[in-house]
Amino acid sequence: MAGLKLSAVDIPRQLSFLSASFRSRRFPGCGCMEAVVDTSKSFSQITSTNMLGSKLRRSRRRITFTVRSTSASVQPLTQEQEECESRDSSASGDAIRRRFLNFYASRGHKILPSASLVPDDPTVMLTIAGMLQFKPIFLGKEPRKVPSATTAQRCIRTNDIENVGRTSRHHTYFEMLGNFSFGDYFKREAIIWAWELTTKEFRLPPERLWISVFEDDDEAYSIWHDEVGVPKERIKRMGEDDNFWTSGVTGPCGPCSEIYFDFHPERGHDYVDLGDDVRFIEFYNLVFMQYNKKEDGSLHPLRQKNIDTGMGLERMARILQKVPNNYETDLVFPIIEKASKLARVSYAKANDSTKTNLKIIGDHMRAVVYLISDGVVPSNIGRGYVVRRLIRRVVRIGRLLGINGDDEGNLGGTFLPVLAKTVIELSTHIDPDVKSRESRILEELEREELRFVETLERGEKLLDQFLANALSNGGKNGDRPCLSGKDAFLLYDTYGFPIEITAEVAEERGVTVDMKGFDNEMENQRQKSQAAHNVVKLSVESEGKLLQTIPDTEFLGYDTLSASAVVKGLMVNGDPVTQVSQGSDVEILLNRTPFYAESGGQIGDNGLMYSLGDEDGKQKTIVEIKDVQKSLGNVFVHKGTIKEGMIEVGSEVDAAVDAKLRQGAKIHHTATHLLQSALKNVIGKDTSQAGSLVAFDRLRFDFNFHRPLSDGEIMKIELLINQWIGDATNLQTKVMPLLDAKKSGAIAMFGEKYGEQVRVVEVPGVSMEFCGGTHVTNTSEIRGFKIISEQGIASGIRRIEAVAG
């Protein structure tokens, strides 16, 4: 075949022709087709001399060709190129994820779903790694359910947000593929399987893989060199900062080994720096948890050695898809392409600044869609602030790129929902539930975008004024001009400008921001507005000591309000003690308890612990329990005051829950379930719970909705709930497998972590929810329901306060 001719047409039409022919603008073996011109005899590629291999299908003919340079004619692929192309066809992000999971499943690992981005861990704001859902197992607080597991975990990290789009590999949202062993296998198997996965399953050339090991880990070095066969010159011993993993000051830890891909093997083996981001990318980290670190820094071998690994999906996709950065993989690039169309720019022809902005949009949109899907809503605190910050950054960047409308030509229309639809289309294989939450995600993004745009113009004008003042005043002592912390806080507090956006704009103008002054203003506001929150005062060190001796607490409170128990631990001011006397506040850990610990919105029980004394001189003890919380895992911490006598570790006590208060909690918890069902009936099924408080004498229910409820809607909700109460329906409680519960239609709380077995509470014909709380046996026990107030507490979040009984 001498060549393939096209009639003279303009560049955009030629690209459209090729895109239609190949069903994609992406080509294996080449980053992208920058532009194509008609030479009458052959196709030519401009700005790229990489090999392009693909298959053209028209009618029943199949033409396979390569493009080498502006003078190259169309030539058939060799057999070697065909094999390379065949591998590329299975290099999609979805295929990589599937192949990784199946590889380890075939080696005895249980495939487990990704945990929520909202972790069940009070020490972490967002899920940052695949091992987080297994932390209680690694710490010995929960028994292992399976000996080994494999996951594709959705993760969020914001510590490198300033590098997103500017480097080839940094993200806020990414997927971590992992294989985990809970005392099942260890270092040798982990290393050999990792090598088999990368070189045989993914067919990476062994000669382009480099290994790092901890400098003192001779065992790992020997396995890599003697058993796997990696040459010594491609194994690097590195120090503690790079290749030793710890979970904190004390606790499980161990060396790690990382696998790097070499993009430039032609540079040889001399003076190699694995930290060179241009030449290398680290894509697979193997952590060998084999020690327990003591307070004095000494390392003691663990009885159960564990494996925790992580492979960056985006990084592996970049390698296998042969693209210059993570953003141009099929995991992110469709979002960038959509943003490019909205901005009416060509990514291929764009300058570096525009490309960076498009990459930021592609990255941040993935993060906000998955966060909102997992129940995080934009706000000015905590996780909500992360979402708001990312959304507002995308809106501002979109305006800089000239995006002014949606994809239907509506000027001034919102564009975030347009981009979100692309993200949702890409989400099917990692989290199918995202599609079912699409309407709520799009509505949340539209509201937040409109809200920000309303204040953006006013805020931009004020920021311009502040920056102009800073520039006119000039720097002192040769320093750069500085925007005051007070002005920056005004923009944040009044106009919703995230401080990071203010800092970015200021940097563009050559102005610094007084971050210390901003932090002081923020702290002043926090002290005025933030209510104190009761937390269990278990320090990392103290908890580490308790973990060795305190088992999970057996909860008896579904069936009884009183029980005898043994004191397994005592805490005063967060420190372990062996006995506590009259008048002291104390935290008590029992082997079993009838007391409900605060969770699922329901507050902890109140009541008494006591021992009556005896003829042998045993002292009478009375402890008033004022609250019960859970620590890491499932240890119940009973917080109270010793009213009489003393209590010590190992003693037996009787624990009695205040029955009247418990009944109040049961009434208000069941009423909360009825309220959620009534809301879905009256204002729409898309509304969902965003938080709750179930107290002894009242309830509070937060839900997603964009406007205040009308008086008529409130009346309908009350009438419906009181009708259900009057129906005198018996509740049904079942424990069932998680998948069966989901199939049954039971409502789960976004962000909650559930085990393989879940408890489902059902009011037949009315409500069915995942719930571990306490409830009435019949709706008639509630007696009556009345809404006290309804108000907005954040953008898109409403709150109902009500009483029952």
Mean pLDDT of 725-742: 93
pTM (predicted TM-score): 0.60
CB 580 within 8 A of CB 646: yes
Q: Distance between CA 261 and CA 283 in Å, rounded?
A: 7
| Band (577; pLDDT cuts 50, 70, 90) | confident
Mean pLDDT of 574-587: 86
Cα 637 vs. chain centroid, distance in angstroms?
28
Strand ranges for 374-529 from DSSP E = 482-483, 512-513
Mean pLDDT of 317-333: 96
Q: Distance between CA 688 and CA 433 in Å, rounded?
A: 14
Q: Say whether 683 sits in a helix, a strand or coil.
A: helix
* Residue 150: exposure state from Cβ atoms within 10 A (0-12, 13-18, ≥19): buried
436 half-sphere exposure, CB direction, 13 A CA radius: 10
Residue 775 assigned as binding residue: yes
Strand ranges for 367-409 from DSSP E = none
Q: Distance between CA 411 and CA 364 in Å, rounded?
A: 23
Name the least confident of 193-202, 205-214, 364-373, 486-495.
Answer: 486-495
| Greater model confidence, 87 or 112 | 112
Q: Are strands 652-657 and 689-694 parallel, antiparallel or unpaired?
A: unpaired
Q: What pLDDT is attached to residue 28?
A: 35
Q: Are strands 148-156 and 110-111 parallel, antiparallel or unpaired?
A: parallel
Q: What pLDDT is attached to residue 35?
A: 33
Q: What pLDDT is attached to residue 752?
A: 63
pLDDT at 598 over 70: yes
754 half-sphere exposure, CB direction, 13 A CA radius: 26
Highest mean pLDDT (candidates 87-96, 532-541, 668-677): 668-677
Mean pLDDT of 457-479: 80
pLDDT at 643 over 70: yes
Name the least confident of 168-172, 182-186, 621-625, 687-691.
Answer: 687-691
pLDDT at 554 over 90: yes
% of the chain beyond a pLDDT of 90: 53
Residue 155 assigned as binding residue: no
| Greater model confidence, 668 or 72 | 668
Name the least confident of 321-335, 337-351, 620-634.
Answer: 620-634
Cα-Cα-Cα-Cα torsion 294, 299, 303, 304, nearest 10 degrees, comes to: 90
Q: Which residue has the tokens 């764009």?
A: 350
* Residue 49: exposure state from Cβ atoms within 10 A (0-12, 13-18, ≥19): exposed
Q: What pLDDT is attached to residue 72?
A: 32
pLDDT single digits (tens) 244-283:
987 666 677 899 999 999 999 999 998 899 999 899 999 9
What's the token pair of residue 311?
């492979």
Q: Distance between CA 258 and CA 211 in Å, rounded?
A: 6
Residue 638 assigned as binding residue: no
Q: Report the chain's mean pLDDT, rounded to a whole number.
A: 83
Cα→Cα distances 676→278, 501, 740, 796, Å: 53, 37, 22, 16
pLDDT single digits (tens) 505-550:
898 889 999 999 998 888 776 655 443 222 333 333 444 455 456 7
What's the token pair of residue 607?
């009541």
Q: What pLDDT is attached to residue 535?
A: 30
Question: How many residues in the chain?
Answer: 805
Q: What pLDDT is attached to residue 476?
A: 60
pLDDT single digits (tens) 35-80:
333 333 333 333 333 333 333 333 333 333 333 333 333 344 444 4
Q: What's the CA angle centered on 211, arms 129 and 286, to 5 degrees? A: 30
Q: Which residue has the tokens 């955009």?
A: 12
Residue 771 assigned as binding residue: yes
pLDDT single digits (tens) 185-231:
999 999 999 999 999 999 999 999 999 999 999 999 999 999 999 99
Q: What pLDDT is attached to residue 795?
A: 67
